[in-house]
Amino acid sequence: KDLINNHLTFTLYNHAAIWPKDDTKWPKGMRVNGHLLLNSAKMSKSDGNFLTLTDAVEKFSADGMRLCLADAGDSIEDANFVESTADAGILRLFTFIEWVKEMLETKSTLRKGAARTFNDQVFLSELNLKTQQT
């Protein structure tokens, strides 16, 4: 946490020095957080509570890591990488991918046309409401 200010300033200076006339290559924004906790505890090799990025990708896959890191936190507070959340995220991702495959395979059997049933109308109403709320 104590190095964030120095690293951000150094990054901006480097980009300005390397591309002084091309600000399209300068950072548009940065997101930072504190330390990364592992299962709600400080990472420590001596305590055995440690996970390298390489090991994490091998264990959870790159997509599983992205999901879990996105869920770990997005504020200045310490992010918390929870392995059970990563496991659950992988299962949700796998289930979603399988559902998409199934829908694509059975696409020709799905009903087409305008929404006619009561359930269709309720669903459309909910979609419209959620769209307006966002």
pLDDT band with cut points at 50, 70 and 90 for residue 2: low
101-112 pLDDT tens trace: 999 999 999 888
CB neighbours (10 Å) of residue 105? Answer: 9
CB 81 within 8 A of CB 75: no
Q: What are the residue ranges spanned by the domains of the chain?
A: 1-32, 35-110
Q: How far, in Å, CA of 72 to CA of 124, rounded?
A: 33
